[in-house]
Amino acid sequence: MAAVIIDGRELAKEIELALAGEIKKFSVKPLLAVVLAGDDPASKIYVGMKTKRANACGIDTADFHYPNEITTEELKSEIKKIASGANGRVPSGILVQLPLPKHINTDEVMTALPPGMDVDGLLPQSQGLMFQGQDTFLPCTPHGILKLIDKANLLLGNDIASIAGKKAVVLGRSLIVGRPLGIMLLKRNCTVTYCHSFTKNLQEECRQADILVAAIGKPRMVTAEYVKPSAIVIDVGITRVGDKIVGDVDYDSVSQIAGAITPVPGGVGPMTIAMLLSNVVKASAG
Query: Any idea which residues carry the catalytic annotation?
Result: 50, 97, 120
How far apart CA 253 and CA 225 sit, in angstroms, is 9
On the CB side of 62, CA atoms within 13 Å amount to 18
How far apart CA 82 and CA 94 sit, in angstroms, is 8
- The contacts of residue 69 (CB under 8 Å, 6+ apart) are none
| Contact between residue 57 and residue 24 where contact means Cβ atoms under 8 Å apart | no
On the CB side of 214, CA atoms within 13 Å amount to 33
